[in-house]
Amino acid sequence: MARTSPDSPLLFDEVLVPDFSIEKAAIDAGHFPVAGTDEAGRGPLAGPVVAAAVILDPRNIPDGLNDSKKLTLKAREALFDLIVTSSLAVSFSSMSAETIDRVNILRASLEAMRRSVLALSIAPKLVLVDGRDHPPRLPCESRPLIKGDARSQSIAAASIVAKVMRDRIMAGCGNHHPVYGFETHAGYGTVRHRQAILESGALVRIHRMTFAPLKSA
């Protein structure tokens, strides 16, 4: 499988707004369709890492696509619905906390991206990837983009899908384990979450035991 070179670094003070220019250039060069892929949940102490892949319809791109971290909950949910209904293909995949502990978070994230791309109902000719790394064993070219979710609308769309799906998974965990408050912090190391771990212990198959402070405990 051919791979393109990683994208060049960006200035830290550069203000970015995602558009479709990278995808358009690729399409004009014969790489259609183009997918974007991104993940959500690399940093939390609990829960899976979730990745998504999206092939936008160039004729029907939702307004307001952006890095999911820059959007409100209400905006993410609204855009999620638009992405799912207007895109040519959408998929997502997750890797469990147990897998993260076994293979490490980077490998788990890249594997989730790979599975999301393979799950698309349309095979892409090029995959734009948020970050510096190539997901392994893709059947097409991949191009890493530093700050890709702030530059590419396809990656931004994938970041929204991944974030919304992960938040919903963590809300379900919160329903089953209310003492931890997963529905409020999605597994991140908030004061409430750390206190719940101290008082009630860690949850097998939900907490990431290789992450500090769980590893030291």
pLDDT in tens, 99-146: 999 999 999 999 999 999 999 999 999 999 999 999 999 999 999 999
Q: Is residue 105 part of a domain?
A: yes
Return the CATH number at 135: 3.30.420.10
pTM of the prediction? 0.93
**Residue 32 placed within a domain:** yes
Number of domains in the chain: 1
What are 59's two structure tokens?
A: 């004729």
Q: What are the C-alpha distances in Å from 91 to residues 1, 53, 150, 153, 196?
A: 22, 5, 20, 16, 33
Pick out the residues of the known binding site for a divalent metal cation. 38-39, 130
pLDDT digits (tens, 9 = 90+) for 56-89: 999 999 999 999 999 999 999 999 999 999 999 9
Domain that includes residue 100, residue range:
21-167
Q: Is the pLDDT of residue 4 over 80?
A: no
Question: Band of the pLDDT at 29, cuts 50, 70, 90?
Answer: very high
Residue 155 in domain: yes
Binding site, annotated residues: 38-39, 130
Q: Is residue 215 part of a domain?
A: no
Residue 34 within a domain = yes
> Looking up tokens 């820059």, which residue turns up?
70
Residue 189 belongs to a domain:
no
Residue keyed to tokens 């293909």: 89
* Pairwise CA distance, residues 130 & 146, whole Å: 6
176 found inside a domain: no
Q: Is residue 103 part of a domain?
A: yes
